[in-house]
Amino acid sequence: MKRTYISPEFKYNSVNGSFKMAEDVSFFSSKMLKIDELLSITNDNLVYYQLQSGEQLDEESEKSSSEILFDATIQKKNNQSIVIDADQSDQSKNEKARWILTIDLKTILIDYIFAKIKFYRTFNGLRNSMTRNNDVNSAIVDYIKLNVLSRYKLVEVELFIDYVNLSEEGKLKYGNEYDPNIQNIDNRVRNFTQELNFDESQLRLIFNQQENASQYSFKYYFNLYYERI
């Protein structure tokens, strides 16, 4: 019998391109998600629909299910924290107290882009079975991390502060509150220091309150602005 030298031990199976979410760069051209020139993470509300499985296959039928709301103000609230700077004197803490507002930029940006992708139904028709981990949402997050995050740079942060007299009922010393309703030009603060960590995933805003901390607490809010690079 004539030998073919074709090993029966191997079998080639076709797989969906969506198993690999990292886009390959070609010398001549590359396919890539079209993204916005600017991203303004302010008070955006994005509503989208999907199946319980996370798949987006038919928008009309999906509208019979509950809508999913992405609220940027809530997302920012859940990914920030503010503490008084422990490296200052007790006198400073009672006067022009210094504060550190830490913002998880990476999580906020990923979740915002994810919501926009869902809103525009960019991966409409993609099924769980067509992804490596059998999860469309996980695949979209991988796509954002591998292809989109590095294409944006933080260019501006807006910080708003509104002071509250402690004589008002229920107000506590150092009882600062996150509040998107204070966003206006009169409350915008420009005198603060920005510190990005090494991979630019986290930002610290360091500032001194302008009203005496023994008499005032404050409400605060922030906006983030990104530019495509």
- Rounded CA-CA distance 152/227 in Å is 6
Structural domain spans, the chain: 35-228
Range with the poorest average pLDDT among 14-28, 66-80, 147-161: 14-28
- Rounded CA-CA distance 199/228 in Å is 17
pLDDT-derived band at 27, boundaries 50, 70, 90: very low
Instruction: Find, among 61, 39, 56, 32, the residue nearest to 154 by Cα.
Output: 39
Is the distance from CB of 65 to CB of 51 less than 8 angstroms? yes
Whether residue 178 is predicted with pLDDT greater than 50 in this model: the reply is yes
Whether residue 68 is predicted with pLDDT greater than 50 in this model: the reply is yes
Alpha-carbon dihedral 81, 99, 211, 79, rounded to 10 degrees: -20
Q: Average pLDDT over the chain, rounded to whole? A: 89
So what's the pLDDT on residue 36? 85
